[in-house]
Structure 1
């Protein structure tokens, strides 16, 4: 996919950019720079937000959308500085604390029937959003070309502060009475993407319940949220699967009942080898060795997905989260399925975006889960000062932390 330059695609007047800002500008997938910026006034469907904390997600790191330069960031939480219209006053006020998620058009069939994650304009307002939102602060000479930096990523571009945010991606947690301080808000910043996705996959897509046997493959923020959601749903058999023992142990401390370390060497020691090693290991720990009723697969591997389909019971469901890698860079991933076997077993493979949740409803619920101890989010987070964004990104890339959070 060709890289699109926002500075080439946008034309704007310098006078449009009057608000001093700072942010991390991605010039490529690995060239991130902390820059002094200017941003513009909020439009009628936006407000201006001062960020308090922003989660770092693998979606930011991999640069989905492949548009540079651009301000990324889509797990923000902050304080409203300015409303874009007086019409917003019914739901938002200056000073309100908000948690941010994915934007949506709010007008299509899916948005108006409670499924904004499947908005017909989803890609345009999230991964591909590239609005002329910032300029780099520099020489004000009229002879200098205007260096415009794209924004509006997922409706927020929360790697900058202040930033203009779409109303559709914000949940007001001040008016709900759930959050009253910036210090409290910091730990809720990452709820709006991966955690909402993992929890919603279990509760609102898989509809998991007592009596089910739920497997979670990949124990990052998405997977661990799935573990907590399964426990909250009354599931008694929760199988946590990951390459790393440390992550399996963490899942067990958060509600999983059975752990499977999926590293090939560990599986081999336990007598599981070959192409069916993972599926056999999962089935072996389930009641009657029939497999799981549901598996949430958060891995980037097509081979792991194939194993998940073989590790579910007849009439079982695999919940597919995250982008799978193709055989080469830029190539779409493909899964070969024995259709007769798939049909006879009554298996279901279901894609999941944002947990199929409306963030205005889901985020207050997740905050309450955190407060009640259902979702011990503090076990997932490691805070980094904004200036240490490179350390935060590297820690996420290496899997050293579950969720890095930049604190402004």
Structure 2
């Protein structure tokens, strides 16, 4: 039985819609963990939509904070108290995928991320009320948290102070996913023709990655005109308002193809939407030998209808991508540098909220008026 001796405050999700600020107690870190004082945490649609369906639990998986205590002397070769870290998804670090550079596909991924429900917290007012934690290895919707070292990247040498670190809290999930989909999965080249459908944080990170790679044709599609304009500021070469009444009677695939050289379609499309119908349209929008990179989470159990002969003879590829297929220890310092260089201007993507104003931060994510809410502890 864990000893709950460390006071903290956090947001407890009692259901998908009921989140509550609570006084909590947590435990000391284990040998594969360290204690992190959270500085800022991005709010992700995965948190809001209740994937995993386990309650009560402390969610949060885009954390950034300061190391306050090591769980084992062995960690001292990589971390010390006071180091600044950005958090991503935990991994076992021992399986085939972890050992070959693909920790996002760790055999324990589900158990360590969406399904994680360790007895890491209790209510301070009633120690019999256990609250689940360990979400993505972090549960970063709390002020002080035992965190698995496998989900962390040490960015102390890159980041000036805690104030600057707030900008980078969201890098560990959606931003890494969108960027890595183009840089490490699609491996896009300057002569490729890419489209990004859905311009939230994931999609806009894809735009930035395309520009970073020198891609000459970057199409940005969304339902919200302001997001299309922002995508063009970030490097998209052409925007497409993808609402049906704005497509002049064409379907989305025809509208995208019309914007490509020779009308051939795209070599790569990043689909960050929750819609299976949109994903089907993306498949119709690619060139022969083209690739659709699926980063948008579809409804559980959703299936796509596919003409397998057409799919085969056109050499089409549909590739699922999580976490950009990146190792966070390598990817996150790289993305911090992108931000410092101006390639990935995080200040244009996020809005900060005091952590107690989590309801407001959720609401603006749900209505789409803010690209990325960040809770500041």
Q: Normalised by the size of structure 2, how large is the TM-score?
A: 0.99
Please point out which of 317, 321, 332 is paired with 2:295. 321
What is the number of equivalent residue pairs in this alignment?
377
CA shift digits 1:70-111 (9 cap, x unpaired): 000000000011100111000000100000000000000000
Match of 1:172 in 2: 154
Match of 2:375 in 1: 406
Match of 2:308 in 1: 339
- Give 1:345 shift: 0.3
> Is 1:350 equivalent to 2:350 in the alignment?
no
Match of 1:142 in 2: none
CA distance in structure 2 between the partners assigned to 1:360 and 1:28 by the alignment: 32
> Is 1:267 equivalent to 2:254 in the alignment?
no
Match of 1:3 in 2: none
> Is 1:155 equivalent to 2:147 in the alignment?
no
Q: How large is the RMSD of aligned CA atoms in angstroms?
A: 0.8
Please point out which of 228, 233, 236 is paired with 1:256. 236
> Is 1:222 equivalent to 2:202 in the alignment?
yes
Match of 1:121 in 2: 108
User: Greater Rg, structure 1 or structure 2?
Assistant: 1
- Structure 1: 5+ residue runs without aligned partners? 1-11, 140-144, 326-330
CA shift digits 1:168-211 (9 cap, x unpaired): 0000001xx10130001000000000000000000000000110
CA shift digits 1:52-79 (9 cap, x unpaired): 0000000000111100000000000000
> Is 1:303 equivalent to 2:277 in the alignment?
yes
CA distance in structure 2 between the partners assigned to 1:82 and 1:283 by the alignment: 54
CA distance in structure 1 between the partners assigned to 2:240 and 2:330 by the alignment: 34
- Secondary structure of 2:40's aligned partner: strand
CA shift digits 1:327-380 (9 cap, x unpaired): xxxx50100100000000000000001000000000000000000001111110
- Secondary structure of 2:247's aligned partner: helix
CA distance in structure 2 between the partners assigned to 1:324 and 1:387 by the alignment: 30
CA shift digits 1:2-22 (9 cap, x unpaired): xxxxxxxxxx46xx0000000
Q: Normalised by the size of structure 1, how large is the TM-score?
A: 0.91
CA distance in structure 1 between the partners assigned to 2:147 and 2:356 by the alignment: 22
- Give 1:265 shift: 1.2
- Structure 2: 5+ residue runs without aligned partners? none
